[in-house]
Amino acid sequence: MDANFWHDRWETGRTAFHEGKPNKFLVKYIKALNLPKGARIFLPLCGKTHDIAWLLAQGYHVIGAELSAIAVDQLFETLGVEPSRQQVNDLTHLSADHIDIYVGDIFCLTAGQIGHIDAIYDRAALVALPDEMRQNYGNHLVGITKAATQLLLTFQYDQTKLDGPPFSVPEEMVRALYSSHYTLTRLAHETLNGGMKGQPATEEVWHLTPPP
Ligand SMILES: C[S@@+](CC[C@H](N)C(=O)[O-])C[C@H]1O[C@@H](n2cnc3c(N)ncnc32)[C@H](O)[C@@H]1O
For 21-51, the pLDDT digits (tens) are 999 999 999 999 999 999 999 999 999 999 9
The rounded Å distance from CA 212 to ligand 1 centre is: 31
φ/ψ of 45, rounded to 5, equals 50, 55
Using a 6 Å CB cutoff, which residues line ligand 1?
Answer: 6, 17-18, 45-47, 49, 65-68, 71, 105-107, 123-125, 128, 165
The rounded Å distance from CA 46 to ligand 1 centre is: 6
Which domains, and CATH codes, for the chain?
3-11+22-209 (3.40.50.150)
What atom of ligand 1 comes closest to residue 9's alpha carbon? 25
Question: pLDDT at position 66, please?
Answer: 98
The residue nearest atom 26 of ligand 1, judged by CA position, is 47
Which H or E run includes 26? helix 24-29
Question: pLDDT at position 10, please?
Answer: 98
The b/e string for 13-35 (b: 16+ C-beta within 10 A; e otherwise) is: eeeeeeeeebbebbeebbeebeb
Closest CA to 128 of 23, 10, 22, 44: 44
The rounded Å distance from CA 49 to ligand 1 centre is: 10
On the question of pLDDT at 126 being above 80, the answer is: yes
Q: How confident is the model at residue 104 (pLDDT cuts 50, 70, 90)?
A: very high
**Amino acid letter, 34:** N
